[in-house]
């Protein structure tokens, strides 16, 4: 039978041999063994049930959690010439009956169904008329309440299996499952003498990194600009964040889509189609997007907010590089992310034990965001692989060549300000005080009389806020919980204030894009704004050769600006200073 499986692989999929791990799983299933396969995203899990389905005499049911996944899989198999169909809530009852009848007549070898369908008496009655020889359970971690995507309907699968005239072979597949969840899958699905195959969790083609203390919007704009020909996903924790990031990118002219539960079905479908067909280069989404999406050329996954746990993160990050080509997976960590995730846990209806477990998992991802160890090793150890190398060349911690900067003095200024306002106010007001703002609230509270007022006047408000976030991430400051968190001194603050400990900040190096191209793009955008304001074509303001010369010369004052070709005194007085400001800020 295995020789037949290899022939089918060549005939339908165009490969002469199976990928690592596939052969053992397929052999086990063809031997009639209940089989659990833990295989990383991109390793070909679907082939492990598609090939056996063509060899088994009867019909194969594939239990899948999302309609989009079913359609993608069926469309993909149709392209290979494999007879398959799906049954879900998008179909009328008559169409469901027709498709099941056709499956019984041998028209379809695979039928995809949602787990909720198994609870409907009319479906169970129709299914009993079929010769079901194999049931494949995709995203099997959904059966465990300890998993990151618990679906209660998955627990109905054993009852459905027992209702069939003959017990079929069972196969369960997932990319992420700790030892605890693997045991849950085996027990809850009532596997008989199961075979368990773990192909390894490592995704060697993916680069993992955590960025802390940076301005998230600036980072995203910088990243997308330097990767504008590449397809990527940006995950955010809330609908509001998704909308904000989407509007930010769209305002800069980047072709992007968004996806969250607040959109209607047609809007979500249109967004998904645009992304899958590369009409939208970037997808900005909540975790509602992605499960089962087979887009193989996603080159990066950015998490605008820290995800809720390691399983969710590895599942979402794993959507990069499904084709085996390099991909980047980066978390943009902010102290507010922790509070947001805690708030979301509190809003659930979890049992006390489940809620406690969720907090434990949250702390694990928080630790991941702060560890200085190899990030790849951290992930693999979490999933039970303890033989991972202590250092790799594919994570931000092991390849960190960023510059170390001593920011002790600035840290002391911020900590002192927190002391002087007695830990009663948020980051925004503290930044206003340090900036020396004439904000109404600052003046009303007489904070302009504090010794820390205006101590950081050379910084922008956002730069001060970014430093506050950095100090919070490193434990020098702490945030209270609630909708309006208050900044307090953290556990590490005393030593810094006493001068017995220094504070260091790794300053992120710019991505590998030529500096003059970055500056040129900034000036080109400014030129467009001025041209619209003045009602003239952009080249009338300055032509491209002038902008290029400014990139080369980097003038810092009026006289040196006037030495560039194409800049006369009139143009200098009219709008030259605006370009000069952009150049200075760029430096």
142 and 291 part of one domain:
no
CATH of the domain at 447: 1.10.10.10
Residues 53, 59: Cα–Cα separation, whole Å: 7
Token digits for 307? 């995800």
What is the pLDDT averaged over residues 118-139? Answer: 90
Distances (CA, A) of 375 to 48, 302, 372: 30, 16, 8
| In a domain? residue 398 | no
308 and 407 part of one domain:
no
What is the pLDDT averaged over residues 502-521? Answer: 64
316 and 295 part of one domain:
yes
| In a domain? residue 18 | yes
466 three-class SS: helix
Closest CA to 173 of 69, 298, 55: 69
Residues 235, 283: Cα–Cα separation, whole Å: 8
Residues 67, 64: Cα–Cα separation, whole Å: 8
522 and 460 part of one domain:
no
Domain of residue 457: give its range: 403-507
pLDDT of residue 587: 62
| In a domain? residue 6 | yes
65 and 140 part of one domain:
yes
466 and 546 part of one domain:
no
* pLDDT band at residue 511 using 50, 70 and 90 as cut-offs: very low
52 and 183 part of one domain:
yes
Total tally of structural domains belonging to the chain:
4
| Residues counted in the chain | 587
Q: What's the pLDDT tens digit per position in 181-224?
A: 899 999 999 998 899 998 878 888 999 999 987 889 999 999 99
Cβ-in-10-Å burial (0-12, 13-18, 19+) of 569 comes to: exposed
211 and 305 part of one domain:
yes
Q: Are 374 and 390 in contact (CB under 8 A)?
A: yes
Residues 204, 393: Cα–Cα separation, whole Å: 10
30 and 178 part of one domain:
yes
| In a domain? residue 392 | no
CATH of the domain at 91: 3.40.50.300
Specify the pairing of strand 327-333 against strand 206-212.
Answer: parallel
What is the pLDDT averaged over residues 237-265? Answer: 94
Token digits for 492? 């590490």
**CA max distance for the chain:** 91
206 three-class SS: strand
Q: What's the pLDDT tens digit per position in 547-580?
A: 878 888 888 888 888 888 778 777 788 888 999 8
* pLDDT band at residue 515 using 50, 70 and 90 as cut-offs: very low
519 and 502 part of one domain:
no
What is the pLDDT averaged over residues 73-98? Answer: 81
Which residues are 489's β-sheet partners?
A: 477
């Amino acid at each position: 039978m295995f020789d037949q499986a290899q022939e089918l692989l060549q005939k339908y999929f165009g490969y002469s041999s199976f990928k690592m791990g596939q052969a053992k799983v397929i052999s086990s299933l063809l031997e009639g063994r209940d089989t659990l396969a833990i295989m990383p995203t991109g390793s070909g899990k679907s082939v492990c049930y598609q090939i056996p389905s063509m060899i088994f005499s009867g019909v194969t049911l594939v239990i899948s959690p999302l309609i989009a996944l079913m359609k993608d899989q069926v469309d993909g198999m149709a392209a290979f010439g494999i007879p398959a169909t799906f049954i879900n809530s998008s179909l009328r009852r008559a169409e469901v009956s027709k498709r099941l009848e056709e499956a019984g007549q041998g028209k379809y070898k695979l039928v995809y169904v949602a787990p909720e369908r198994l609870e409907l008496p009319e479906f169970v009655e129709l299914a009993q008329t079929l010769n079901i020889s194999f049931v494949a359970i995709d995203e099997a971690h959904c059966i465990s309440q300890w998993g990151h995507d618990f679906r209660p309907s998955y627990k109905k699968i054993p009852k459905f299996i027992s209702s069939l005239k003959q017990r079929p072979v069972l196969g369960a597949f997932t990319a992420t499952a700790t030892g605890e969840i693997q045991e849950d899958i085996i027990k809850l699905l009532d596997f008989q003498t199961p075979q368990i195959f773990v192909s390894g969790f490592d995704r060697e083609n993916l680069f993992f990194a955590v960025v802390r203390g940076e301005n998230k919007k600036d980072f995203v704009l910088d990243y997308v600009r330097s990767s504008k020909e590449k397809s990527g996903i940006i995950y955010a924790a809330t609908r509001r964040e998704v909308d904000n990031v989407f509007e930010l990118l769209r305002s800069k002219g980047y072709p992007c889509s968004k996806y969250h539960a607040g959109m209607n079905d047609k809007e979500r479908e249109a967004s998904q189609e645009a992304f899958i067909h590369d009409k939208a280069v970037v997808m900005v989404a909540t975790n509602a997007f992605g499960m089962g999406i087979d887009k193989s050329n996603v080159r990066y996954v950015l998490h605008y907010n820290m995800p809720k746990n390691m399983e969710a993160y590895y599942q979402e990050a794993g959507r990069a590089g499904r084709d085996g080509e390099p991909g980047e997976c980066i978390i943009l960590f902010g102290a507010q992310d922790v509070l947001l995730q805690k708030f979301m846990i509190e809003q659930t209806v979890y049992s006390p034990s489940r809620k406690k477990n969720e907090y434990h998992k949250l702390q694990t991802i928080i630790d991941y965001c702060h560890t200085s160890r190899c990030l790849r090793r951290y992930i693999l150890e979490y999933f039970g692989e303890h033989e991972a190398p202590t250092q790799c060349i594919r994570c931000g911690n092991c390849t960190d060549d960023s510059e170390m900067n001593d920011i002790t003095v600035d840290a002391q200024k911020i900590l002192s300000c927190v002391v002087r306002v007695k830990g009663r106010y948020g980051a925004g007001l503290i930044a206003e005080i340090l900036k020396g703002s004439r904000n109404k609230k600052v003046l009303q509270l007489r904070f302009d009389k504090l010794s820390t007022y205006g101590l950081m006047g050379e910084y922008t408000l956002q730069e001060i806020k970014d430093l506050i976030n950095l100090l919070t991430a490193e434990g020098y400051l702490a945030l209270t919980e609630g909708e309006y968190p208050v900044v307090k001194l953290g556990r590490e603050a005393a030593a810094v204030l006493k001068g017995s400990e220094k504070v260091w900040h790794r300053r992120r190096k710019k991505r590998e894009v030529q500096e003059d191209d970055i500056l040129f793009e900034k000036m080109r955008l400014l030129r467009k704004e001025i041209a619209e304001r003045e009602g003239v074509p952009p080249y009338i303001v300055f032509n491209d050769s002038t902008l290029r010369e400014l990139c080369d010369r980097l003038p810092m004052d009026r006289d040196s600006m006037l030495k560039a070709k194409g800049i006369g005194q009139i143009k200098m007085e009219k709008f030259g200073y605006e370009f000069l400001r952009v150049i200075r800020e760029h430096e």
